[in-house]
A and B are shown apart, each in its own frame.
Chain A
Amino acid sequence: MSTTAVATRRDLRQRFRSMTGVTKNLKRKQLTEAIFFWTFRILSALVVAILFLILGFIFVKGIGVINWSFISEMPKEGMTEGGILPAIVGTLCLVAGSMLFAFPIGVMSGIYINEYAKASWYKRFIQIMTNNLAGIPSIVFGLFGMALFVNKLKFGDSIIAGSLTLGLLALPVIIRTTEEALKAVDKNFRQGSLALGATKWQTTYKVVLPIALPNIITGMILSIGRVSGETAPILFTVAAYYLPRLPHSVHDQVMALPYHLYVLTTSGTNIKASRDMAYGTALVLVLIVLIANLLANVLRRYFSKKVKMH
């Protein structure tokens, strides 16, 4: 009788001990979980905070000089007065020009790599080289652009030389995103189309591309952002230090926002006097990129709706 009672008590104690062990274990697991969760959460908040800090800083510093005459007039008084219209127009021209060149070529290359090229050393070679192209510093693109477009092909310092150079810079991004966008299209769609007697091109054009287009446009957005902010590639190919008139043709030189910003900050006629204008220029540049992104997003939405996925 008593032995059973003792056994039961020991048994209970044992059970209790193992149970506290479980709770301890559970608590430790919850703690680890909480630590990781909060680490990730705080770090991602930090990223957003940095972004807002940059944007806020530029906004606060730059908003003071922004008014209609700032964006609609030529620079005056050694760029310490007046506006930045030629730089805005110049940057828009360069973005448009580079996309006109890089978007079709990039998309077509992406299509070739993903839809046509068979798994071979040649395909691998193209892919590796595309990645390498993305890794080349932009100043090297600038030098190359100067050597090829400005000097060898005798375009001179011009919108066309600058656009082509920027286009080269944008190419790898567009090729890669096109490739990824096409890869994400289910192969069942392709087989369904081919099985109906469609050619590869019909299949690509009528079925695959419409599905991939929204993601391809994302690639374009990314490259527009990159191209509009680049200074090095335009330095030797198109950008003018001071040119208070609008371009008449693609053979003209233009001012451009990033370079203008650089000039106002480091090598203007009166750096102190133009400091505020530099911030204004930065703000305009950021706004242009932002608006381009928004527009491209509208485009993206439009094309996703056109494809009847739902």
Chain B
Amino acid sequence: MPKIETKKVNLYYGDYHALKNIDMQIEKNHVVALIGPSGCGKSTYLRLFNRMNDLIDNVRIEGDVLIDDKNIYEKGNDVDALRKKVGMVFQKPNPFPKTIYENVAYGLRINGVSNKSFVEERVTKSLQQAALWDEVKDKLKKSAFELSGGQQQRLCIARALAIEPSVILMDEPASALDPISTAKIEELIYELKKKYTIVIVTHNMQQAARVSDETAFFYLGELVEKNDTKEMFTNPKNTRTQNYITGRFG
């Protein structure tokens, strides 16, 4: 059973047909990279999985999106519970204007967890998992804004990990970061996939090649090709894929 599966998904922004008949399966503990030129629908597709598209007015979605074999768009489905299971890291690091500690603890607090030692333990563990612990363990009470962009992004990852999701969505998580911070995030993704299923949107072809097991190429709202990453980058089946990954357009 795939971890995530979409069946004939169509998405419209008003009259605009943004996703066209997307069928895809994502295996558990895989990293899947979504690539394609700007406006191709890859971010929109990513945001299907935690229903962030719901926040936009005038969105219409058809088809099935299954996570653990359950249709997450079914009527009466608890969106908040879904988002606890499917964490997300955004393009621009967006820590809250709170302390480093409170940022990570936020997800627990909103779920009514108040046991102090439990929260402390979870915060520590999440920061360790996000490879940030050593850098911040002496300044947990400092504002998250004192951290560098790369550290802030890892803090956001720790924040997502703290509520123990099973899927992590990343929307160009390194596009606002310098090369060293980017490398750290990529190493982290490699570590995280042991426990989590990761879907990552990226503009950076090398990044897709480095971090992902599978790559899916989107173009004009269609899924053109999805394949094993190595296969995709060495032997693309579709000419449009080939043109894109060799940099001939996009």
Contact = CB atoms under 8 A, between A and B. Distances in A.
Interface of A: 118-119, 186, 188-189, 191-199, 202, 206-207, 210-211, 307-310
B80 interface: yes
Contacts of B111: 197
B215 interface: no
Q: Which of B81, B84, B94 counts the most A-chain CB atoms under 10 A from its CB?
A: B94
Contacts of B143: 308-310
Interface stretch (B49-57, B69-77, B123-131, B182-190): B49-57
A164 B205 CA distance: 63
A200 to B, nearest CB: 10
Interface string B187-211: 0000000000000000000000000
Contacts of A211: 97
Contact of B99 (A194, A206, A308): A308
A194 B90 CA distance: 12
Interface of B: 50, 52, 55, 57, 80-84, 87-88, 90, 92, 94-99, 106-107, 109-111, 142-146, 156, 159-160, 163
Contacts of A199: 80, 110
24 contacts: A186-B94, A188-B90, A188-B92, A189-B94, A191-B52, A192-B90, A192-B96, A193-B96, A194-B52, A194-B83, A195-B52, A196-B87, A196-B106, A196-B160, A197-B81, A197-B111, A198-B80, A198-B106, A199-B80, A202-B110, A308-B99, A308-B144, A308-B145, A310-B145
A202 B92 CA distance: 22
Contacts of B96: 189, 192-193, 207
B142 to A, nearest CB: 8
B87 A195 contact: yes
Nearest to A308: B143
Contacts of B88: 195
B55 A308 contact: no
B97 A197 contact: no
B159 A196 contact: yes
B97 A191 contact: no
A194 B145 contact: no
Given A188-B90, A309-B145, A310-B145, A193 B57 contact: no
Nearest to B141: A308
Contacts of B80: 197-199
Given A119-B57, A194-B83, A309-B143, 10 more contacts: A188-B92, A192-B95, A193-B106, A193-B110, A196-B106, A196-B160, A197-B80, A308-B97, A308-B144, A309-B97
Nearest to A190: B55
Contacts of B97: 189, 210-211, 307-309
Given A119-B57, A308-B144, A310-B146, A197 B94 contact: no
Nearest to A208: B96
A196 B110 contact: yes
A307 B102 CA distance: 12
Contacts of A189: 94, 96-97
Given A207-B96, A210-B97, A197 B163 contact: yes
B90 A191 contact: yes
A48 B6 CA distance: 65
